[in-house]
């Protein structure tokens, strides 16, 4: 988890909404208006326990500093080996305030700089992107405090086809609104790689069994839309989507720095420490 720096000012999530740089974990809160996502692509053999040990040093540094801004970590279950770190803010001004406060904290900044050296040795690539939340295009985007996975789909929209994309989003939203248990949060890229026409659709899951249920959910959706509606969806998709990709991620409590209220709400966010083996008394 690197130090977060803004593009020009020197993301999870539900419950990671930040007020003036301070995250609050109330389950009634929705996704943060501004979401910062860091991606660390890992060398072969450097994922798992090796990366967890490195990232735990960042968590310890933030804990020691009693830093009031929190983040979630997750690891890939498909695609290239990588870890995502999401941090949310109520505004770009809140992000700036948090960044400036971190720069003034010499002890924390020095610790993060030192840890970054070792953590960087595990990576092949690193990037940071910033997204803004689209509430109208989202559906049932509630708290993720009890979730265990994110299903994240990237959509790259063709230049000049934004209106068609938003029409497509509305059709999916209105159709799936009639299907129980379906959820997603829609984010648009503001800064970062592939910026301009890049969207994220993030769905939370408590179990992978929800992926099995998804097949049935889509059948219900197709029934709601009818033959003409599904044909319209296909036409709009072909017209406005340049490419899309879906991947699965699992939350990592050992690499996350969650709000203490999250730990109280769900012990999952407080990973158990290994118990040392007892030795026989001579």
- Alpha-carbon distance 95 to 40, whole Å? 21
Provide the pLDDT confidence category of residue 271 given band limits of 50, 70 and 90.
confident
Look at residue 18 and tell me whether its pLDDT is greater than 60: no
Question: Quick one: average pLDDT of 200-217?
Answer: 95
User: How buried is 229 (Cβ within 10 angstroms: 0-12 exposed, 13-18 middle, 19+ buried)?
Assistant: middle
Look at residue 25 and tell me whether its pLDDT is greater than 50: no
User: Is there a contact between 103 and 4 (Cβ–Cβ < 8 Å)?
Assistant: no
User: Is there a contact between 95 and 10 (Cβ–Cβ < 8 Å)?
Assistant: no
Question: What phi-psi label fits residue 250: left (phi over 0), alpha (psi between -120 and 50 degrees) or beta?
Answer: beta
2-11, 208-217, 223-232: which has the minimum mean pLDDT?
Answer: 2-11
Instruction: Please tell me whether residue 240 adopts helix, strand or coil conformation.
Output: helix
What pLDDT sits at residue 273? 52
What pLDDT sits at residue 17? 36
What pLDDT sits at residue 16? 42
- Alpha-carbon distance 224 to 219, whole Å? 9
Across 126-159, b (16+ Cβ under 10 Å) vs e yields eebbbbbbbeebbbebbbbbebbbbbbeebbbee
21-30, 62-71, 190-199: which has the minimum mean pLDDT?
Answer: 21-30
Provide the pLDDT confidence category of residue 10 given band limits of 50, 70 and 90.
very low
- Alpha-carbon distance 211 to 214, whole Å? 5
Question: Quick one: average pLDDT of 117-146?
Answer: 95
What pLDDT sits at residue 101? 96
What pLDDT sits at residue 275? 43
- List, in sequence order, the alpha helices (H) in the chain: 49-64, 92-104, 106-120, 162-176, 209-240, 260-265
Question: Quick one: average pLDDT of 92-121?
Answer: 96
Look at residue 279 and tell me whether its pLDDT is greater than 70: no
The chain-wide mean pLDDT, for the chain, equals 88
Question: Quick one: average pLDDT of 72-100?
Answer: 97
All structural domains of the chain with their residue ranges: 18-265
49-58, 179-188, 191-200, 246-255: which has the minimum mean pLDDT?
Answer: 191-200
User: How buried is 115 (Cβ within 10 angstroms: 0-12 exposed, 13-18 middle, 19+ buried)?
Assistant: buried
The 3 state secondary structure assigned to 80-95 is: CCEEEEEEEECCHHHH
Look at residue 3 and tell me whether its pLDDT is greater than 70: no
Look at residue 67 and tell me whether its pLDDT is greater than 70: yes
- Stated length of the chain: 282
Look at residue 80 and tell me whether its pLDDT is greater than 80: yes
Q: Which residue has the higher pLDDT, 248 or 27?
A: 248
Report the share of the chain in percent with pLDDT over 90. 82
- Angle formed by the axes of helices 106-120 and 92-104, to 10°? 100
- DSSP conformation letters of 138-173: EES----TT--EEEEEEEEEPTT-HHHHHHHHHHHH
What pLDDT sits at residue 142? 87
Question: Quick one: average pLDDT of 34-48?
Answer: 96
Correct CATH for 18-265 of 3.30.70.2740, 3.40.50.1820, 1.10.600.10, 3.30.70.100:
3.30.70.100
Spatial CB neighbours of 65, under 8 Å, sequence gap ≥ 6: 105, 107, 108, 111
Spatial CB neighbours of 206, under 8 Å, sequence gap ≥ 6: 146, 147, 148, 149
What pLDDT sits at residue 40? 97
- Alpha-carbon distance 3 to 209, whole Å? 35
In degrees to the nearest 10, what's the CA dihedral of 169, 172, 174, 179?
A: -150
């Amino acid at each position: 988890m690197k130090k977060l720096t803004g593009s020009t000012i020197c993301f999870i999530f539900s419950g990671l909404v930040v007020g003036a740089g301070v995250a609050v974990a109330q389950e009634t809160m929705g996704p943060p208006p501004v979401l910062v996502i860091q991606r660390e692509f890992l060398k072969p053999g450097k994922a798992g326990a090796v990366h967890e040990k490195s990232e735990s040093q960042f968590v310890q540094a933030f804990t020691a500093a009693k830093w009031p801004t929190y983040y979630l970590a997750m690891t890939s279950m498909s695609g290239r080996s990588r870890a995502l770190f999401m941090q949310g803010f109520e505004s770009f001004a809140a992000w700036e305030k948090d960044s400036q406060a971190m720069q003034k904290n010499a002890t924390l900044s020095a610790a993060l700089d030192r840890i970054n050296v070792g953590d960087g040795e595990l990576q092949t690539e690193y990037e940071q992107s910033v997204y803004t939340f689209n509430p109208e295009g989202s559906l049932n985007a509630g708290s993720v405090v009890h979730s265990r996975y994110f299903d994240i789909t990237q959509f790259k929209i063709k230049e000049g086809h934004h209106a068609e994309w938003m029409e497509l989003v509305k059709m999916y939203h209105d159709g799936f609104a009639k299907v129980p248990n379906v959820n997603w949060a829609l984010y648009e890229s503001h800064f970062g790689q592939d910026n301009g026409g890049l969207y994220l659709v993030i769905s939370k899951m408590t179990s992978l069994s929800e992926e099995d249920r998804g097949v049935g959910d889509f059948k219900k959706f197709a029934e709601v839309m009818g033959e003409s509606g599904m044909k319209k969806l296909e036409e709009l998709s072909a017209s406005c989507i340049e490419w899309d990709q879906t991947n699965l991620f699992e939350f990592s409590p050992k690499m996350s720095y969650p709000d203490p209220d999250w730990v109280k709400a769900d012990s999952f966010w407080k990973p158990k420490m290994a118990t040392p083996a007892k030795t026989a008394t001579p």
